[in-house]
């Protein structure tokens, strides 16, 4: 990845009526993005993580992908939301269990705090389920606003987050 990457976080903790278990749903979501012209450059392993904030929901399956696309950040975010809806995502209560979550984490290191989308994702540096898989595919990535490497961000994670590779 010679130019600054476009990074997308994937997650889900509910089975999809159409695809089944979360990992199958996430795999299908990646395939759908490819069908829509988003080229996947790299994908982390699947991670299993406890809900943040802590709740009695099922554990999540997460991954991070690096992609290439001609879409700008706003159009890419709209496409991600469209795919979520296609897969049965219903937005309601914040941090609720969900079939599919597609987050635009970073777009070519653009910093945008005021518009849509907010870049980089405003909570990504606080989430083990984002940073651990991100390190697999972009180990030299530096947070464009905080100026910290992914390793530094991992070292500063709040305690109590549980994210581990599956299998």
Report the catalytic residues: 89, 98, 101, 103
DSSP conformational letter for 108: T
Query: For the purposes of burial, counting CB atoms within 10 Å of the CB of 38, is it exposed (0-12), middle (13-18) or buried (19 or more)?
Result: buried
Residues 6+ apart with CB under 8 A from 153: 125, 131, 143, 146
Q: What size, in residues, is the chain?
A: 167
The residues with which 11 forms a beta bridge, in sequence order, are 62, 101
């Amino acid at each position: 990845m010679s130019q600054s990457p476009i990074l997308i976080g994937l997650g889900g903790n509910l089975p999809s009526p159409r695809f089944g278990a979360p990992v199958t749903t996430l795999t299908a979501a990646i395939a759908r993005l490819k069908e829509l012209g988003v080229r996947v450059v790299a994908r982390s392993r699947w991670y299993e993580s406890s809900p943040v904030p802590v709740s009695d929901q099922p554990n999540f399956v997460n991954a991070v992908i690096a992609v290439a696309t001609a879409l700008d950040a706003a159009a890419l975010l709209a496409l991600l939301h469209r795919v979520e809806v296609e897969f049965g995502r219903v937005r309601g209560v914040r941090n609720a269990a969900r079939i599919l979550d597609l987050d635009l984490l970073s777009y070519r290191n653009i910093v945008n705090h005021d518009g849509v989308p907010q870049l980089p994702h405003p909570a990504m540096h606080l989430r083990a389920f984002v940073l651990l898989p991100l390190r697999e595919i972009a180990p030299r990535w530096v947070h464009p606003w905080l100026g910290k490497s992914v390793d530094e961000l991992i070292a500063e994670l709040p305690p109590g987050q549980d994210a581990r590779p599956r299998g």
